[in-house]
Each structure stands twice: as C-alpha cells, then as structure tokens.
Chain A
Amino acid sequence: MNPGTVALTIIFALIGAGALLGLLARGGHQMDLEQWTVGSRGFGLLMVFLLMAGEIYTTFAFLGASGWIYAKGAPALYILAYLPLGQVLAYHLGPAIWQLGRRHGLQTQADFFAYRFGGKALPVLVALIGIAAIIPYLQLQLTGLGIIVELASFDRIGRDPAMLLAGVVIGTFVLISGIRAVAAVSILKDFLMLGVVVTVGLAVPRIHFGGVGAMFARLAETRPDWLVMPGGTAHLGHLWYVTTVIICSLGPIWPHGFAAMFTARSGDTLRRNAVVMPLYNLSLVFIFFVGFAALLLYPKLANGDLSLLTVVRATFPPWFLGIVGGAGALTAMVPAAVLVLTAATLFAKNVFRPLCGRELSDAQVGRLARFIVVCLIAASLGLALTRSTSLVALLLLGYDLVSQFFPGIVLGLFWKPVSRAGVLGGIVAGVLVTAFLVLTGRDPLNGWNAGFLGLVVNFTVTLVVTKWVRAPAPGAALGEAVSAR
C-alpha cells in the first residue's frame, strides 16, 4: 500500500470510531432539552473532566501552540499559564453557578443572567455576544481539521471533503446524543491526543538533536532571542503577558463552559475537576518542543501553524501520520460539537423564544435548537470553504468579548447590590472599548491587552451605574443568589 492509502485508512477508521462512540452515547436516554443540553446534570468526575478537556484542548492547541512557538517564541508561554489559572476561577465560580443551575433549571449562560438580573435586553445581549464569539471559533475548528487531515493523509483527502465529512459527522452525533456525545467522543480523542503528543514531543528532539536538552542547548546558542519574551515579536512583552494571561484565564466563563458546569452531578465534582485539570495542561509542553524543533529544522516555513505537521510528516512512518490525522480530526470535532450545541440552545432558548415566540414549550425549543444546529454547521462550513480569513481576527476578539461577562457573573454571584442596569452598561461599555481597540489595530495598547482595558472600563461602569441607578432587582432571586455569609 502506498503511504497515502495507509494514512487515509487509519484516519477514516478513527473518525468512524469517534462517530460510533458519539451515537452510542445516547444509551437509553430520552433526549429532552434537559438531557440534550446538560446531560440531566448527572455527570461524574470522569465525564466532566473529559468534557472540559475536550473543550479546552482544541485544534488551537494542536496547530496554534506550536505555531506560536515557531513564529513568535516565548510569548507562547502564555498558553501554558492561562489554562491552569483558569481552573482557579473554575474552582470557585463553578460550584456556585452549578448550584443556581440545579435549583432553577438553568441550562445556558443567558439563563443565568436572566435568572439573576431579570429583564429582556441583558440576557438576549449576552446570548447574542456568546453566539457571535462562538461562530468564528467553530469555523476555526473546521478549518484546522481540514488542514490536519489534508497534510496527514499526504494530500489524499482534500481540505474541503474532509471538512464536509466532519460537518456531517458532528451534526449527526450532536442531534442524536447531545452533550453526552461530546463526552463520549472525548474518551477516544484524549487517549489518542495524549499518546500522539507525548510520542511526538519526545521523539522529534531525540531523533533530530539527540534529546530535549540538546535541542534547547542549541537553541540557546543560535536563537536565544526566541527563548525569552518578547521573542520574535515587537510588542508581546511582560506587561502584555500579564494582562493577556488574566483575560484568557477567564476562559471557563465561555458559554460552553457554563454548559459543562451544569452537567456536573455535584459542586464537588467541579472542585475535584479543577484540582486535576491543570496537570492535564502539562502535555502542552510536548507540543512546544515540536514547535522549537521546527524552528531549527525548517526555519523558513511560510505558515507557522503548519510547523508541527511538517515536522511530523518528515519524521514518522505513514501509519503514525494516520493516527495524528485521526486524533487531530477528533480534536476539532469535539469542541466543534459542544460549540454548536451551546450556540444553538442559546439562540433557540434565549434569543428566539423571548423575542418571537414566548409560548414555545421546552420541547419546541429543543426541536428548534436541533434545526439551528444544522444551520450553524452549514454556515460555518460555508465560511470555512470560502476560506474566509477575517474571522480568525474575530476569534481573538471573541475571547476579549466573552471576558466582558466576568463582572456580571462574579458580582452577580457574590455581591448583592449589583444592578441589572449596571451589568448591562458595563458589558456594553466593555464590548465597545474592546472592539474599538481591536478593530482599529490598537491591541495591545502600549503593551496592555485590549480585552483587559475593556474589562477595567466594564467593572468601573458596572459599579458606578449600580451606585446611581438603584433599580430593585427581582427580590426572591436576589435573596437566594446572594445569601449572607
């Protein structure tokens, strides 16, 4: 068999196995909205861990982390820092959010805002910003999948057919098994990814340089500038690092992070998960090794994001490429599935129902959400197939925008007086400031991350408006959400 056929067969086998796991995940469960979106809040530690690891460890980790090391050097260390630090927040916020979710049947992030602050504009706005942040994220997963499968199959499967196939598979298992599918496919994905990453990260430096230590010794001699910040960049220094790590550590408050929290069986499940999760991020360092190896081996690549696959293709036999391709494809499909599920539920439940059809039952919302799943996958495929690149810039903006929910969430949970008008004003101000800075090319501004500056404005506006406008928030909701110590 020629190398392309070997790799291709293995890639298809792994995607097929993932699809099968996703379909079987339904088990005997009745897929009502509650089961579909939050797994009836019955996930134990293992399922929650797999779900969250699946959400965090995306194609960005696979292609982007090595790409950043290759193209920028040490500033990429921020990726190692923000994921563990995000778990500190998840440890404290997760159980509080979970508890409200369980008591009041919250299924989405916008449900949380609707419950805590009431009103119509705020939850709809939160849902729309969440969806706007998710769509480019979704497209990026599909694009990444296309690149991985194309390169790993020695160009036997083109990008476009790969993305189409993946879109159909993702849609099918999300429609049939909901969030259970995501956790189930994660089992295979995490197992493969860990194996691939550790093997590649240790073998590449060993084969080409005689070991990790020898590789870094050579880097310290030939590219010492790359090993410390700002590396190959002009502006990504220490101030940028601190502000960016803080913004990105708010990652657990992405809308799909909320969905994952709500699936947990208990608050302690989330606490235990947060204790273990940082250790999982240690595996990212192996991907960094490959990015550094590529820097020495192929210093003239046009696109740093391809550095990992270029090195792997030149170093390993075809069957291993097949495993990398399959693992890479699943690594895109798992987050894509949870993103599409979250965005569809947000739209059906928190945008469409309050604005257009208050009389919709939960069952109807569930059916509408499934229809939206198909629409969203089609839209993302369209964007990915037309190689729309402007959205990649929007993804970075998405991180900054989602972080603007933080004041509303943390004050809403722990500070009784905070008002709806304050939170609404804060989010609007934070989003405007951030979007202005990013879209006019002012990020970072004198070394400060734009989202961080937006967050500062956001907190200030939230507090000032809360002091000014003492609107009585829904009494019962308040008393429960914020009980005195």
Chain B
Amino acid sequence: MRFPSRRAIFLGLLPFIVLCFSVGWWDRIHPFVLGLPFNLFWMLVGIVFTSLCLALTFRLERNEPPAERDQP
C-alpha cells in the first residue's frame, strides 16, 4: 500500500495534538465558554477540528493523479 503523504500525516497528527497530547494545557475549568467548562468546550472544538482536518486531507488527495488512488 502507498504510505500516506507527508501532508496527510501532518494533518492526521494535528487532531492528536489538539485532543490528546496537549491535555495538560486545556484541562481546566476557567474560562467558561458558552456556559461550558473550558476543557469540555475545547473538546467540542477539537472534534469539529478533527473532521475538518480529514476533510482537507480528502481534498488534497483528490487532486493526486488517479493512478495513485485505489486500483480495484
């Protein structure tokens, strides 16, 4: 199988940084945002961000030559 491109790996790593590795930074109660403790709010943003990163990966890969994509 073709290994994911460097851009794709970078875009896949970002959500892990946002939702996982940076936990020490965002795991706190204040400031409240939209009535939610900061950590809960941060996670919701992170989830949407994950989806956006994957959508962007999909867009970028779309532009690659078709021969590179799934050959049945």
Contact = CB atoms under 8 A, between A and B. Distances in A.
Contacts of A96: 1
A229 B37 CA distance: 13
Interface stretch (A126-134, A273-281, A367-375, A457-465): A273-281
B8 A92 contact: yes
What secondary structure prevails in chain A residues at the interface with B?
helix
B39 A227 contact: yes
Nearest to A267: B70
A238 B19 CA distance: 12
A413 B19 CA distance: 26
Contact of A275 (B20, B27, B46, B51): B51
Contacts of B55: 275
B2 A485 contact: yes
Nearest to B62: A268
A317 interface: no
Contacts of B27: 74, 77, 228-229, 238, 241
B37 A213 contact: no
B69 A267 contact: yes
A483 B28 contact: no
Contacts of A164: none
Contacts of A137: none
B65 interface: no
A363 B16 CA distance: 44
A241 B21 CA distance: 9
Interface in B15-29: 15-16, 19-21, 23-24, 27-29
B69 A481 contact: no
Contacts of A242: 20-21, 23
Contacts, number: 134
A160 B30 CA distance: 46
Contacts of B54: 87-88, 91, 271, 274-275, 278
Interface string A406-435: 000000011000000000000000000000
A102 B72 contact: yes
Contact of B15 (A84, A213, A229): A84
A236 B58 CA distance: 35
A211 interface: yes
Nearest to A244: B20
A241 B19 CA distance: 10
Given A212-B36, A278-B47, A227 B29 contact: yes
A266 to B, nearest CB: 7
A174 interface: no
B66 to A, nearest CB: 12
Nearest to B28: A228
A217 interface: yes
Contacts of A214: 35
A96 B71 CA distance: 10
A279 B29 CA distance: 23
A228 B29 contact: yes
Interface of A: 74, 77, 80-81, 84-85, 87-88, 91-92, 95-96, 98-100, 102-103, 211-214, 216-217, 219-220, 224, 227-229, 238, 241-242, 245-246, 249, 266-268, 271-272, 274-276, 278-279, 281-282, 285, 288, 413-414, 481-483, 485
16 contacts: A81-B46, A88-B53, A212-B35, A216-B36, A217-B32, A238-B23, A245-B20, A246-B16, A246-B20, A249-B16, A249-B20, A275-B55, A276-B51, A278-B48, A413-B1, A483-B1
Given A241-B20, A282-B47, 4 more contacts: A84-B19, A85-B15, A91-B54, A99-B70
